[in-house]
Amino acid sequence: MAIDFTFSPEIEEARQMTRKFMHGVVRPKLAELREAGESRGRGAWREAINELRQKAREEGLWAPHMPKEVGGMGLGITATAMMSAEATKTPMGPYIINCAAPNEGNMHTLLHFGTEEQKEKWLKPLMEGTMQSCFSMTEPDVAGSDPTQIQTQAVEDGDEWVINGRKWFTSGAQRADFAIVIAKTDDDAEVAQGRTSAFIVPLDTPGFRIVRDVQTMGGGGGHPEVEYKNVRIPKENMLGPRGRGHELGQVRLGPARLGHCMRWIGQIEMALEMLIERAQNRFAHGSLLSEKQSIQWMMAHSTLELYQAKLMVLHAAYRIEQGVDFRPEVSMAKYHVANTLWRTVDRALQVHGALGYSKDTPLADMLINARWSRIADGSDEVHLMRIAQFAMRSYNEQGDLSIATGQLPI
């Protein structure tokens, strides 16, 4: 069996180009904008980010996860992993090269479930960067961890669907042109997972309303509560087959969860590098922090966990590319990478002392962001539950743990 962790020269080149573009073009532009301060207003920021997106596209650094036929780089998910990890070390990096959530997951979903007309109308503008989208599944009144409880209802009326319900944490809805909405269509479906379907809802449809901007640990402006009140959409806006909303959500979440992991790896690396840099330059009680064993153990644990994270993400991506079941691997990767992010950023912040707690470094914001990684796209406990289920299934069906441990040949 061949085990090869090297990338082809073209893929390595894409990584180097991403790094060069982020360091040479994006970071200086962001620094210039920051220096100009608030006085330039949000309009100037938006304009500058759009210009950077345009430049990235011209350089061929655009939607690495999507096939070339639809305007992406066709890199496949494994190669996208390292490009995403590289881009995420720069603020807005993944958005600038058009592989940020939630558009990234929605592009996959439209590619795999969309009709030709839907691809033309909704995927194409996402690929061209002229539209924004969001994903609207979680509801305030029922547990998001269990989507079989979704209450938002879609009812057929002539050649339209009429949607009623309330969602929240529909990330990016304020700036989005359309939402992929999961709603109940078949109350009495035999299996609970067959009750919901997915719909494409243009957000200028009458009856759609942003109820409020939810203030979070990380501030506001990102995850609003929204209402669908007698929202009428044409029949052809159903995405994928009727009764397959749950499945579509799961298929979407495989690569989307891994997309998060890839970006988090970039953040983990950045935090660990900051920890090492600080420890080698801060002197206390007769030696540098880096010479103290307790600090070295922080470095060692973070390095070990980062290495595990990289292997898990690469292996899960490999399984997605091979077209084989990837659910245990993605669950394990998502749980491990999210928790490594949380611990590593916390350690880096600790080593920076008061500076870490201040906003003079990005660590405080990184820690706040790291907290949601353990909740969104499946909370820790749900992934642990799934991992345990796979372990029991593997043991009971095969008398060993191979299904639960990546089906590796050892």
144 is a site residue for ligand FAD (CB under 6 A): yes
Q: Tell me the torsion sign for CA atoms 393, 394, 397, 400.
A: negative
Q: Which of 379, 402, 405, 407 binds ligand FAD (CB under 6 A)?
A: 379
133 is a site residue for ligand FAD (CB under 6 A): no
Q: Which of 31, 44, 143, 288 binds ligand FAD (CB under 6 A)?
A: 143
User: Between 76-87 and 293-322, two packed helices, what is the crossing angle to 10 degrees?
Assistant: 150
254 is a site residue for ligand FAD (CB under 6 A): no
CA distance 288 to 3: 41
Q: Which of 7, 318, 357, 372 binds ligand FAD (CB under 6 A)?
A: 372
Residues 194-223 that bind ligand FAD (CB under 6 A): 223
376 is a site residue for ligand FAD (CB under 6 A): yes
**Cβ neighbourhood burial of 364 (10 Å; 0-12, 13-18, 19+):** middle
Q: Which of 18, 109, 118, 136 binds ligand FAD (CB under 6 A)?
A: 136
167 contacts 212 by C-beta, under 8 angstroms: no
Place of tokens 């390095």: 303
User: Between 327-351 and 363-372, two packed helices, what is the crossing angle to 10 degrees?
Assistant: 150
170 is a site residue for ligand FAD (CB under 6 A): yes
392 is a site residue for ligand FAD (CB under 6 A): no
148 is a site residue for ligand FAD (CB under 6 A): no
382 is a site residue for ligand FAD (CB under 6 A): yes
State the CB neighbour count (10 A cutoff) for residue 388: 11
Residue nearest to ligand FAD (CB): 144
Q: Which of 99, 137, 275, 337 binds ligand FAD (CB under 6 A)?
A: 137
Place of tokens 């669908």: 228
Q: β-strands 225-234, 208-212: how paired?
A: antiparallel
Residues 220-249 that bind ligand FAD (CB under 6 A): 223
Binding part of the chain for ligand FAD, among 42-50, 87-95, 258-266, 377-385 by CB under 6 A, reads 377-385
375 is a site residue for ligand FAD (CB under 6 A): yes
225 DSSP β-pair partners: 212
Residue type, 219: G
CB 259 to ligand FAD: min, Å? 13
CB 139 to ligand FAD: min, Å? 8
**Cβ neighbourhood burial of 58 (10 Å; 0-12, 13-18, 19+):** exposed
Q: How many residues belong to the site for ligand FAD (CB under 6 A)?
A: 20
CB 179 to ligand FAD: min, Å? 9
279 contacts 299 by C-beta, under 8 angstroms: yes
* SS3 state of residue 53: helix
Binding stretches for ligand FAD (CB under 6 A): 102, 135-138, 143-145, 169-171, 223, 372, 375-377, 379, 381-382, 385
